[in-house]
Chains A and B, each alone.
Chain A
Amino acid sequence: MASTAAVPFWRAAGMTYITYSNICASLVRGCLKEPYKSEAASREKVHFTVSKWANGKPEKPTIRSDSPDQ
């Protein structure tokens, strides 16, 4: 299995299994033909804000979004 050999490498790069599987999934989705490709891409939109808390106060929220214009 090719993926087995890859494990130490993406772990060393600081990736979790989730990131790894997501990259794999988006690669597979990239193999789709149009119109299915753009349809699948619309299901890949990421948007949320995260703020860390320190000493009972929220720090400045960071926006995780793949469409920066929003």
Chain B
Amino acid sequence: MAMAALRREGRRFLLSSASSTPITARSAISSEESCLFGARSISTQIVRNRMKSVRNIQKITKAMKMVAASKLRGVQTKTENSRGLWQPFVALLGDGLSVDVKKNVVITVSSDKGLCGGINSTSVKVSKALTRVYSGPEKENKYVILGEKGKAQLVRDSKNSIELSISELQKNPLNYTQVAVLADDILKNVEFDALRIVFNKFHSVVSFPPTVSTVLSPEVVEKESEAGGRLGDLDLYEIEGGETKSEVLQNLTEFQFSCVLFNAVLENGCSELGARMSAMDSSSKNAGEMLDRLTLTYNRTRQASITTELIEIISGASALEG
């Protein structure tokens, strides 16, 4: 009984000496010092807190993954259906990627939210490369940016060539009416000879290569069709009604633009969800690994302190006996 009281006294003395160290050096050094002095248990509070926060993060990332996965299913069918909108246009007008014109407008499609892997930086990178390809004397390259994340990246080095930026597009589920109004706004506010739409095309949950779709202005289409080539076949089609070819072409390119943009926005939204899904999957896996490591450290430390205490008790008892 007296021994126990003595021990308690001793511990109190040790603790008070540890806490009397200067406050500035408290955090790590004092705990180390108290270990050196022979304090019986190492504080596991820090590790426990860390484990708690990692577990919370893991919960969040898991939930985000679930949300992305459930959203993806709906958007994917929509996206696949929307491909039928632009395919006839490509069959009719071709893609025109190689057509060289003076006023290029690059439309970078990106997402509003982050945490979706590298899809935004890929589309920004491709847009920059595209402007470099089409740059030259007497040429003009402008950006129209869809989404916050692309804007944040392009502002850094090419803010002077940004013409329009659009965001909050994905507040409601994407629909054609919305994209059509947007396409109308772009057509009215931007002068262009060719619109190059850069987006991430959805192939599968893990693969979304950056893609460029080109929409030429009616004048350029007319010029190209006169020059022959792919667009020269346009004259093979019979045009109904009393409209001239340029009128038809203007209507056609406008409609093509809205359709291609609709598909691009959907594809990019779909890729975003896919990318978010895989990113969140790997981050929850990482959090799990981290948690395992922390648990191991925590248990080991706890076990060590228990062992120390046991040894102390046993040796104290044997000292009394002896």
Kindly identify which residue among A4, A45, A50, A63 contacts B175, using a CB–CB cutoff of 8 Å. A45
Kindly identify which residue among B182, B188, B250 contacts A48, using a CB–CB cutoff of 8 Å. B182
> Is A17 interfacial (CB-CB < 8 Å)?
yes
Q: Are A18 and B255 in touch, CB under 8 angstroms?
A: yes
> Is A19 interfacial (CB-CB < 8 Å)?
yes
CA distance A17 to B240 in the complex (A): 17
CA distance A50 to B241 in the complex (A): 37
With A7-B247, A16-B188 as known contacts, state yes or no: A53 contacts B159, CB within 8 Å.
yes
> Is B305 interfacial (CB-CB < 8 Å)?
no
The SS class assigned to the A binding surface is: mixed
Number of residues on chain A facing chain B (CB within 8 A)? 30
Q: Which of A27-63 contact B (CB under 8 A)?
A: 43-53, 55-58, 61, 63
Among residues of A, the one whose C-beta sits closest to the C-beta of B143 is: A53
A21 — which chain B residues lie within 8 A by C-beta? 180, 255
Q: Are B165 and A58 in touch, CB under 8 angstroms?
A: yes
Kindly identify which residue among B163, B166, B184 contacts A16, using a CB–CB cutoff of 8 Å. B184
> Is B266 interfacial (CB-CB < 8 Å)?
no
Nearest 6 CB-CB pairings of A with B: A4-B241, A56-B159, A17-B251, A17-B254, A53-B162, A45-B172
B residues sitting closer than 8 Å to A (CB atoms) are 159-160, 162-169, 171-172, 175-178, 180-185, 187-189, 240-243, 247, 250-252, 254-255, 257-258
